[in-house]
Amino acid sequence: MTAVIEAHKLAYFSIPKVASTSLKELFYQIQHGRLFTKERRGVHFEAFRTEPFYRMDRERLNGFTRIAVVRDPIKRILSCYTNRVLQTRRLSAEQIDLVAAERLGVSPDPGIRKFILHLDQYRALSSSIRNHTQPTAMFLGPDLGYFHKVYRIEELDELVGFLQEQTGLALTLPREMTSEKKIDFAELTPNCQDRLREYCAADYAYLKDFYPPR
C-alpha cells in the first residue's frame, strides 16, 4: 500500500509523476508528526512504496477514506521526459543496455521528439521510464468510484485543507521532484502531438471527469 494512516483511517494511492514524492512526504508528516528527513533512498523506499492496484490488500482498507490525485495524462508523460530523461538521465548510455537499444533502433539520451515517437522502445529499455508512463488505472484500479476523494494535481491545496480538517494537524506540502524544464504540448511537432494523443487516449477516457482530451 502506498500510504495507510491507521490513526486517522486515511489511505493514499500514489501515481508516479503525480506529485507522489511531495504527497508521500505529506502523509509521512501525518503518520509521524514531523517532516520527512531523507536518510538513504528517499520516501518511496524508506516509508511508502508505490504499488500497482492489483497487488494491494484492499480488504484492509474497509472503513478508510481512500484518496487519489490525478494529472493530465499528456503533461504526465512530458514530466517523465524532463525528470527521468533530462534530469536523472535514466536513458543515458550508462543506464541502459546499448545492445538492446541498437536492436530496438533507438539511441541513448533522446530528444523529446525521438522519446515520444519511440516511447514503446524506451519503455522496454528502462523500468523507470516504464513505471513513470504506466496508465493511471494501473495504480488506481478500474473504477475511480472506489475512492472517496479524487483531486486533480492543480487542487493540492484543497487536499491539504481536507487533511488538516481530518487530522487536526498543521501540515506543509513539500515541493519535491520539480522538473527544471517545462515542455509545452503546443510547441511539439504535429506527429509528436498525434502520438501522445494516441498513447494517452485510454487515460483520457479513464479521467474523463477530470481532464478533457487534447
pLDDT of residue 45: 45
Nearest residue to 171 via CA among 158, 181, 182:
158
DSSP 3: E
Percent of the chain with pLDDT over 70: 91
Rounded to the nearest 5 degrees, what angle is found at the Cα of 37, between the Cα atoms of 8 and 32?
Answer: 20
CA 11 to chain centre: 16
Average pLDDT score over residue span 57-63: 89
β-pair partners for 10: 5, 65
Q: At what angle do helices 20-32 and 156-167 cross, to 10 degrees?
A: 10
What's the pLDDT tens digit per position in 186-209? Answer: 999 999 999 999 999 999 999 999
Whose CA is closest to 124, among 146, 145, 100? 100
pLDDT greater than 70 at residue 23: yes
pLDDT at res. 52: 85
pTM, two decimal places: 0.91
pLDDT digits (tens, 9 = 90+) for 136-184: 999 999 999 999 999 999 999 999 999 999 999 999 888 755 556 789 9
